[in-house]
Amino acid sequence: MSAPDRLAARRRGEEAEERAARFLAARGLAIVARNYRTRLGEVDIVAREGRTLVFVEVRARSWRAWGGAAASVDFRKQRRIVAAARHFLARLGAEPACRFDVLTLDGAGAEPAWIRGAFEAA
C-alpha cells in the first residue's frame, strides 16, 4: 500500500471512530478514552455505561464482502483487544464490570450497527 493510500485509510478510520464516539455518546455512554494502545493491542474506544466499563472495537468497511465489518473481528483481534483492556484495567485498582462491544459501519453512509456484548474475555 502506498503512503497516500495508507494516509487515506488512516483518515477513514479516524472518521469512523469519531462517528462511533458520537453515536455512543448520543446513547448515554461517557467516553473515557480513545485509541488506548499498548504493545499487546489497542482498544478504539473505552466508555462507561452506568457502572459498566465498555471496550469498543470500531470496524468500517466500504462493502460487505467476506462477511462485512463484524466478521473482521476474529479471534486474534479479540485477543489483542482483551490484552489491551486488561492493561487498561490494571491501572484502575478496582475492576468494574466490563463488556466488549463492536460497532460496525458497513458501506458508505451506513447507519452504525452496535453489537453489545460481542465477545467475552475468555
110: helix, strand or coil: coil
pLDDT band at 52 (very low <50, low <70, confident <90, very high): very high
pLDDT of residue 67: 59
Position 116 pLDDT exceeds 60: yes
Per-residue model confidence as pLDDT tens digits over 57-106: 998 876 555 556 677 788 999 999 999 999 999 998 888 999 999 999 87
This prediction's pTM: 0.88
Domains, the chain, ordered by start: 3-119 (3.40.1350.10)
Per the CB < 8 A criterion, the answer to whether 40 and 87 are in contact is yes
Q: Which residue has the cell 488506548?
A: 36
pLDDT of residue 43: 97
Nearest to 58 by CA among 91, 10, 19: 19
